[in-house]
Amino acid sequence: IKFFVGGNWKMNGDKESLGELIMTLNTASLNDETEVVCGAPSIYLDYVRSKLDQRIGVAAQNCYKVPKGAFTGEISPAMIKDCGIEWVILGHSERRHVFGESDELIGQKVAHCLESDLGVIACIGEKLEEREAGTTEDVVFEQTKVIADNVRDWSHVVLAYEPVWAIGTGKTATPDQAQEVHEKLRGWLRENLSDAVADSVRIIYGGSVTGGNCKELAAQPDVDGFLVGGASLKPEFVDIINARS
């Protein structure tokens, strides 16, 4: 399985600072065995794709579920692809919990993106109260089921486990905590879909990944990469990309 490192820039950066980051990435020595994708704000997708080395992919951070229409403020997979972008992040906890996106809507987006031949980084994860109540499995399995119901071809899907309590909080799931959920997710894929899907789908971890903790996380057998937030805007993103080197 090819290690996958996504950088989610969220609503950060301007042409100057992103231009500097792009120069850093373009000139960095990156592990050839790792697939790298940067999630840029939609207004900068075209700019980033034109400047970033072709060995690095670009992702939109969200999109809508239809090709075009009267949906003010939204962008479609068709538009994303027209800018030369090959990926989209869907179901991020900030979309779910800040903007109120439902499992159903996220599932519809997944289906439309895959039909449009756009790769999907699909995010799942439990909130702190859910973990403390012992319902982590129920929550992530339910979220995964809605995604799975909308996927025909898993070769264009990366599953990102992001415990909500670890995103931007500085609290990282321990390598054991991450491995435990990743292993259970792979088991769910095996039981409900197939061995082939379970053995090939990349399950990546997100939640306060840094240059300091990435190597230990990357060493876990079921952690196939990362979705990196804040650290993806800093030079240490290169260290995270090279976590398996």
Task: Specify the pTM.
Answer: 0.97
pLDDT tens digits along 129-144: 999 999 999 999 999 9
For residue 243, give the nearest of 222, 213, 221 by alpha carbon.
213
The answer for residues whose C-beta is within 8 angstroms of residue 203's C-beta and 6 or more apart is 159, 160, 161, 182, 185, 186, 222, 223, 224
pLDDT tens digits along 152-206: 999 999 999 999 989 888 888 899 999 999 999 999 999 999 999 999 999 999 9
pLDDT in tens, the chain (245 residues): 999 999 999 999 999 999 999 999 999 999 999 999 999 999 999 999 999 999 999 999 999 999 999 999 999 999 999 999 999 999 999 999 999 999 999 999 999 999 999 999 999 999 999 999 999 999 999 999 999 999 999 999 999 999 998 988 888 889 999 999 999 999 999 999 999 999 999 999 999 999 999 999 999 999 999 999 999 999 999 999 999 98
| Active-site residue list | 92, 162
Integer-rounded Cα Rg, in Å, for the chain is 17
Distance CA 209, CA 100 (A): 25
The answer for residues whose C-beta is within 8 angstroms of residue 74's C-beta and 6 or more apart is 63, 64
